Amino acid sequence: MDLIQLLAPIIILELILAIVGVIAWFKTENTNGPRWLWLLIIIFITILGPILFFIIGRRQ
Protein backbone atom coordinates (compact mmCIF):
# COMPACT_ATOMS: atom_id res chain seq x y z
CA MET A 1 0.00 0.00 0.00
CA ASP A 2 1.65 3.17 -1.08
CA LEU A 3 0.75 6.67 -2.10
CA ILE A 4 1.19 5.70 -5.75
CA GLN A 5 -1.90 3.50 -5.52
CA LEU A 6 -3.91 6.49 -4.44
CA LEU A 7 -2.49 8.67 -7.14
CA ALA A 8 -2.56 6.29 -10.12
CA PRO A 9 -6.28 6.44 -11.00
CA ILE A 10 -6.46 10.17 -10.33
CA ILE A 11 -3.37 10.90 -12.44
CA ILE A 12 -4.71 8.80 -15.33
CA LEU A 13 -8.05 10.63 -15.26
CA GLU A 14 -6.28 13.98 -15.02
CA LEU A 15 -4.18 13.11 -18.03
CA ILE A 16 -7.24 12.09 -20.06
CA LEU A 17 -8.89 15.37 -19.14
CA ALA A 18 -5.84 17.42 -20.12
CA ILE A 19 -5.33 15.56 -23.42
CA VAL A 20 -8.97 15.90 -24.43
CA GLY A 21 -8.80 19.56 -23.41
CA VAL A 22 -5.82 20.17 -25.69
CA ILE A 23 -7.54 18.35 -28.59
CA ALA A 24 -10.67 20.45 -28.06
CA TRP A 25 -8.48 23.55 -27.86
CA PHE A 26 -6.95 22.73 -31.27
CA LYS A 27 -10.39 22.40 -32.77
CA THR A 28 -11.71 25.63 -31.27
CA GLU A 29 -11.12 28.72 -33.34
CA ASN A 30 -12.99 31.26 -31.24
CA THR A 31 -12.30 31.28 -27.54
CA ASN A 32 -13.49 33.66 -24.88
CA GLY A 33 -10.33 35.63 -24.22
CA PRO A 34 -6.84 35.00 -25.60
CA ARG A 35 -6.50 31.60 -27.24
CA TRP A 36 -2.91 30.91 -26.10
CA LEU A 37 -3.85 31.67 -22.50
CA TRP A 38 -6.44 28.89 -22.56
CA LEU A 39 -3.77 26.40 -23.63
CA LEU A 40 -1.69 27.34 -20.60
CA ILE A 41 -4.75 27.04 -18.34
CA ILE A 42 -5.62 23.59 -19.74
CA ILE A 43 -2.10 22.26 -19.32
CA PHE A 44 -1.01 23.85 -16.06
CA ILE A 45 -4.15 23.99 -13.93
CA THR A 46 -4.96 20.35 -13.21
CA ILE A 47 -8.58 19.17 -13.35
CA LEU A 48 -10.06 22.66 -13.00
CA GLY A 49 -8.33 24.11 -16.08
CA PRO A 50 -9.83 21.74 -18.68
CA ILE A 51 -13.26 21.91 -16.95
CA LEU A 52 -13.23 25.71 -17.13
CA PHE A 53 -12.23 25.56 -20.79
CA PHE A 54 -15.03 23.12 -21.63
CA ILE A 55 -17.65 25.17 -19.79
CA ILE A 56 -16.75 28.80 -20.51
CA GLY A 57 -13.73 28.75 -22.82
CA ARG A 58 -15.44 28.04 -26.10
CA ARG A 59 -17.59 30.46 -28.00
CA GLN A 60 -20.47 28.79 -29.78
Partner 1 sequence: MQWLTIYKKEMLEYWRNFSWVWVPVVFILLAIMDPLTTYYMPIILDKVGGLPDGAVIELPQMAATDVLMMSLSEFSSIGVIIIVAITMGIIAGERKSGVVELVLVKPVRYANYISSKWAAKLTLILVSYTIALLTSWYYVSILFEEIALLAFVQTLSFYALWLILVVTITIFYNTLLKTPGLVGALSVGTIIGMTAINAIFSHKLTWFPNNLSSYIRQLLHTGEIPTALWGTSFVTISLIVALLFLSFYTFQKKELA
Instruction: State the Cα–Cα distance between residues 27 and 7, nearest whole angstrom.
Output: 30
CA 7 to chain centre: 18
Question: What x/- string results for residues 4 through 33 when contact with partner 1 is judged by CB under 8 A?
Answer: -xx--xx--xx-xx--xx-xx---------
CB atoms closer than 10 angstroms to residue 52: 15
Q: What CA–CA distance (Å, rounded) separates 7 from 37? A: 28
Told to check if 37 binds partner 1 by CB under 8 A, we report no
Among 39, 40, 50, 57, interactor with partner 1 by CB under 8 A: 50
Contacts with partner 1 by CB under 8 A lie at 1-3, 5-6, 9-10, 13-14, 16-17, 20-21, 23-24, 47, 50-51, 54-56, 58, 60
